[in-house]
Amino acid sequence: MFYLTFKKNIEKMKSKYSLNLGKPFGIKVSIHWTFLLLIAWIVFITMRQGLETAQILMHVLFVLALFVCVLLHEFGHSLVAIKFGGEVHSIILLPIGGMANITKMPEKPKEEFLVSLAGPLVNIVIAAILGLYLYYIHPVSFGDMDFSYITRDNFLPMLLAANIFIVVFNLIPAFPMDGGRLFRSALSVWMSRMEATRIAKNIGQIFAVLFIIAGLYINPFLVIIGFFILLGAKGEYEIMKYQNILEDHKVQDIIITDYDELEPEDTLGEAAKRLQHISNRGFVIKSGGEYKGLLTQKDLITGLETYGKEGKIEDSMNKKIESVTPDMDIFEAFKHMRKNKYDIAPVLKDDAFKGILDIDNINEFFMIRKALQ
Give the model confidence (pLDDT) of 244-302 as tens digits.
Answer: 888 889 999 999 888 888 999 999 998 888 877 665 678 999 998 899 999 988 889 99
Stated pTM of the model: 0.75
Q: Quick one: which of 181, 238, 186 has its CA closest to 204?
A: 181
Q: How would you write 243-269 as a 3-class SS string?
A: HHHHCCCEHHHCCECCCCEECCCCEHH
Q: What is the mean pLDDT of the chain?
A: 87
Q: Is 72 exposed, middle or buried (0-12, 13-18, 19+ CB in 10 A)?
A: middle
Mean pLDDT of 200-212: 92
Q: Quick one: which of 45, 49, 91, 42 has its CA closest to 64?
A: 42
89-134 pLDDT, tens digit each = 889 988 878 888 887 777 788 998 999 999 999 999 999 999 999 9
CA distances from 250 to 90, 246, 255, 328, 365 (A): 28, 8, 9, 6, 11
Give the residues across from 19 on adjacent strands. 31
Q: What fold, for 251-372?
A: CBS-domain (3.10.580)
pLDDT score of 9: 45
Q: Look at residue 65 and tell me whether its pLDDT is greater than 70.
A: yes
CB 120 within 8 A of CB 102: no
Q: Domain coordinates of the chain in residue numbers? A: 2-171, 177-242, 251-372
